[in-house]
Amino acid sequence: MAANRPQGSFKLVRLFGIDVYVHWLWFLLLVYEVRGRGGYGSLAWNLAEFLSLFVIVLMHEFGHALACRSVGGEARFIMLWLLGGVAYVKPPMRPGAVLWSLAAGPLVNVVLMPILVVTAYLASVHLNQGSDLRHYLIALAFINGILLVFNLLPIYPLDGGQILQSILWFFVGFTKSLRFVAGFGVLAAAGLAALLIVMAIKVGSARSLPLGLVMAGFIGWQAYNGYSYARRLAAQGVDPTTT
């Protein structure tokens, strides 16, 4: 993970000493989602909802980055791209330090949850049924909840899978824990792809299928890389843990 600008991206902003980049693929998703998303009377609200999603994603990634710094690690940069956001961080190779760096991202969504849920409730009570603002505020609470649940799935390399790996690290060591969760991640990605195809056939709509398959492929590829790395470490008898 080089500290230089990631290929195919441009610098958006620098906050807390951390550069935020946007990959060009993000704009493809923007056009696809804004033009295809319904429920509003104006495309401006579609755009507002999409951008708000990525503000929440960015806050999540800053949770990772700032937590990593707090335990003496490096926070190199954050990139927004087709599948969300990635914080390029390097925590100390200790299970506790890695666990905190990972857990801090979902904790941001936990903190946002009551704020957005209360706001959505007030909007549902006090705004008209057809109000775009009402729909937007309810959607934000729903989006944050979905992001929290999805990220906490115990599937490597999602936050939940990596959190599980760092917990197992305490008991069975880095290599065995990584091999276990990454191996499960490969199987889960294959299962996710199959489920998405079946659902698209039953529903009769494949609009979300391409992005879903890209997500499943990304998860499977990253999990396979993690599993291969763990096998190499085991073969070499290497333990990357620091004291």
The model's pLDDT over 148-177, given as tens digits with 9 standing for 90+, comes to 999 999 999 999 999 999 999 999 999 999
| Nearest Cα to Cα of residue 182 among 200, 164, 167 | 164
pLDDT above 70: residue 243: no
The model's pLDDT over 49-108, given as tens digits with 9 standing for 90+, comes to 999 999 999 999 999 999 999 999 999 899 998 888 999 999 999 999 999 999 999 999
Mean pLDDT over 107-124 rounds to: 96
74-81 and 9-15 beta bridge pairing: unpaired
95 contacts 169 by C-beta, under 8 angstroms: yes
The model's pLDDT over 179-232, given as tens digits with 9 standing for 90+, comes to 999 999 999 999 999 998 888 888 766 667 888 888 999 999 999 999 999 999
The model's pLDDT over 126-154, given as tens digits with 9 standing for 90+, comes to 888 889 999 999 999 999 999 999 999 99
How far apart, in Å, do the first and last CA atoms of the chain sit?
23
Residue 237 pLDDT level (bands cut at 50, 70, 90): confident
| Nearest Cα to Cα of residue 140 among 242, 18, 50, 24 | 50
Query: What kind and span of H or E run contains 77?
Result: strand 74-81
pTM of the complete model: 0.89
